[in-house]
Amino acid sequence: MTTTRRKFLTTSALGGAAALAAPAVHAQSTIRWRMQTYAGAALGEFVVKPAVDMFNAIAGDEMQIDLYYADQIVPTGELFQALQRGTIDCVQSDDDSMASPTEVTVFGGYFPLASRYSLDVPALFNDWGLNEIWGEAYAAVGVKHISAGSWDPCHFITSSPITSLADLQGKRVFTFPTAGRFLSQFGVVPVTVPWEDVEIALQTREIDGVAWCGATEAYTVGWADVTSHFLTNNISGAWIGHFFSNMDRWNELSPKLQNLVATCFEQSHYYRQHWYWAGEARYRTEGTKLELTAIPDAEWATVETAARTFWDEIGAESETKARVVQIFKDYNSAMDRAGRPYRYS
């Protein structure tokens, strides 16, 4: 009985000490998201990587985002499908390039002459109602629209000078689907190639130029090295791009992580805004690779008039499109009436 009692006391003491020393721990693995951007590595280093790095540093063991660049997991035109089915958890792109099956897709990227300056985009989304329309459109197809922001203005960057609308005739140009649809009336021939192949296509003259970006991007990604001219008349004042996520994956996150994702992506919008704004002026005034040309204002007014007709054609296609077009009209009318510094002409 003594031995038994001693064994019991010893076993109980050791067991109790062990329980106190090492309480039960429920291991929780790090949440991992795969994110693909429309941008290649050279551009992605500026337009998205800082935000992802910031998020990963703050989230630590709770969550990490693995970033992939253009076409690394799926082609850009398949980004929406991959996002919807969960192959990719998060995407940075415009609606147009990733072929979203929504009513708002046509307005992604560079909708012709819808904006004058980069600040127009966040104003339209945060203060004029576009966020709500995009949120509804994407929720209906199982995708979370996280936020929208502006990139650079859209210009023709070509291997020969453009000084009149006649010079656009027959130009084979890499551009966005909707921009290509609009520009085709002026003789432009839209050409689609993978983003990473654009530089080679310019070198081999498979394409004559791009209507995809401004001076900052052209210099950053190397397109300025294989072209010669930059048309200062812009097709649009700022690219409209977004962050999206798979709805189920978004809903799995805690409110804290959802807020952190949204905050870091909002910081990305801010970073891009000043990076592009400063870069556009710097490369136009200090850059030596692209000669600046212009189409006279009176002749370019033809394009601006055609853009308004294009807006009406798009708005007639559906109720949602009509809502967006009306917001564009109302906003630009307000900016015109406000005058300087909102509009100078």
Domain boundaries defined on the chain:
31-150+237-285
pLDDT of residue 307: 97
What is the domain class of 31-150+237-285 according to CATH? alpha beta
Res 262 pLDDT > 50: yes
Q: Are strands 209-213 and 172-175 parallel, antiparallel or unpaired?
A: parallel
Q: What is the structure's pLDDT at 345? A: 67
- As given in the structure block, the two tokens for residue 238 are 């700022």
pLDDT score of 196: 87
Helix (H, G, I), strand (E, B) or coil at 143: strand
Asked whether the predicted pLDDT for residue 25 surpasses 80, the reply is no
Instruction: State both tokens at 117.
Output: 């300056």
Residue 2 has pLDDT above 50, yes or no: no
In the chain, the percentage of residues whose pLDDT exceeds 90 is 89
DSSP state of 289: S
- The three-state secondary structure class of 142 is coil
The whole-number average pLDDT for the span 248-263 is 98
Please name which of 150, 151, 147 lies closest in space to residue 263, comparing C-alpha atoms: 147
> Rounded CA gap, 4 and 113, in Å?
90
pLDDT of residue 12: 46
Q: How confident is the model at residue 313 (pLDDT cuts 50, 70, 90)?
A: very high
Reported confidence tier of residue 11, pLDDT bands at 50, 70, 90: very low
Asked whether 292 and 218 are in contact (CB, 8 A), the reply is no
* Residue type present at position 340: R
3-class DSSP assignment, residue 333: helix
CA distance 216 to 172: 22
Q: pTM to 2 decimals? A: 0.88
Task: Characterise 170 by phi-psi region: left (phi > 0), alpha (psi -120 to 50), beta (else).
Answer: left
Which of 55-64, 260-269, 336-345 bottoms out in mean pLDDT, i.e. has the lowest? 336-345
The letter for the amino acid at 213 is C
| Cβ-contact 236, 303 below 8 angstroms | no
- Element (DSSP H or E) covering residue 37: strand 31-37
**Looking at residue 344, what is its pLDDT?**
81
- Say if residue 129's pLDDT is above 50: yes
Binned at pLDDT 50, 70 and 90, residue 203 comes out as very high
**Does residue 257 have a pLDDT over 50?**
yes
| Over residues 137-157, mean pLDDT | 97
- Predicted confidence (pLDDT) at residue 24 exceeds the cutoff of 90: no
Task: Say what percent of the chain tops pLDDT 70.
Answer: 92
Burial of 120 per CB tally in 10 Å (0-12, 13-18, 19+): buried
How would residue 272 be classed by pLDDT, with cut points 50, 70 and 90?
very high
**pLDDT, averaged across the chain:** 92
